[in-house]
Amino acid sequence: MSSSIFIFGAGGVAREVAWIIDDINKVEPKWDIKGFLVDGKCTTNYIDKIPVINGLNCLKDNQSPKVIIAVGSGAKRAEIASRILSINSETQFPNIIHPSVIKSNLVSFGVGNIIYPNCVITTNVVIGNYNQIHIASVLSHDSIVKDYVTILPGCNISGNVVLNEGCSLGVGSKIIQQKSVGRNSFIGAGAIVINSIPEGVLAVGIPAIIKKKY
């Protein structure tokens, strides 16, 4: 039997999540998408044949509604999660994991994570809450992904890496083993991180160097 789910957002990530859910349902009918939930005025009634629902009030009338927050910015995901919980504290945030993802049984997930197709997550990896791991990224043994982290397509994260809250890794970036990326820092597309990166900075290039502080 399938469960109802709302997708928060109506942009690129939200439409990609609808596609991932479609693929999950091809394996086993798990989710019934109620609509793209938007918290502002959206003049379109349907996107890709899925209804657009304006405003979060519909969550009030649901018992334990299920929502996946599908927006690209980690900071926005944090803000939206707390707004949704203030409207209905029983809201649940399931993990949406594409069936093609390869992972061991020793990977743990919190809530509200989106894992895109063709990711590989090896062993003893801890993934917190509301993270996005985009297409074909690799996470190796003993790494930790905290909360609200965004890993853009084709990233390669070696063993024992720590990705702290709200950091983002640009497309195709790589982190060598035992390094960390600080809270809310951004690693530019294509960078190779060979030294740990502190919080709140932009680091770019090969090897990655700090370009600016946010």
Ligand X SMILES: CC(C)(COP(=O)(O)OP(=O)(O)OC[C@H]1O[C@@H](n2cnc3c(N)ncnc32)[C@H](O)[C@@H]1OP(=O)(O)O)[C@@H](O)C(=O)NCCC(=O)NCCS
* Cβ atoms within 10 Å, residue 107: 18
Length reported for the chain: 214
Q: Is 36 left (phi over 0), alpha (psi -120 to 50) or beta?
A: beta
Do 71 and 14 contact (CB within 8 A), yes or no? yes
Please report whether residue 211 would count as binding ligand X according to CB under 6 A.
yes
Residues 6+ positions from 89 with CB-CB distance below 8 Å: none
Please report whether residue 50 would count as binding ligand X according to CB under 6 A.
no
Could you say which of 117, 159, 188, 200 contacts ligand X (CB under 6 A)? 188
Please report whether residue 170 would count as binding ligand X according to CB under 6 A.
yes
CB-side neighbour CA atoms (13 Å) of 198: 7
Nearest-approach distance from CB 12 to ligand X, in angstroms: 8
Q: Which stretch binds ligand X (CB under 6 A): 2-10, 14-22, 101-109, 204-212?
A: 204-212
Q: Which stretch binds ligand X (CB under 6 A): 21-29, 36-44, 57-65, 188-196?
A: 188-196
Please report whether residue 154 would count as binding ligand X according to CB under 6 A.
no
Nearest residue to ligand X by CB is 188
Please report whether residue 116 would count as binding ligand X according to CB under 6 A.
no
Alpha-carbon distance of 206 to 8, in angstroms, equals 36
Nearer to ligand X, 53 or 175 (CB): 175
Could you say which of 189, 192, 209, 210 contacts ligand X (CB under 6 A)? 189
Residues 6+ positions from 154 with CB-CB distance below 8 Å: 134, 135, 136, 137, 171, 172
Could you say which of 186, 193, 197, 201 contacts ligand X (CB under 6 A)? 186
Nearer to ligand X, 20 or 107 (CB): 20
Could you say which of 58, 204, 209, 210 contacts ligand X (CB under 6 A)? 204
Parallel, antiparallel, or unpaired for β 156-157 and 174-175?
parallel
Do 108 and 91 contact (CB within 8 A), yes or no? no
Nearer to ligand X, 150 or 158 (CB): 150
Alpha-carbon distance of 167 to 177, in angstroms, equals 17
Q: Residue numbers of the site for ligand X (CB under 6 A)?
A: 152-153, 170-171, 186, 188-190, 202, 204-205, 211
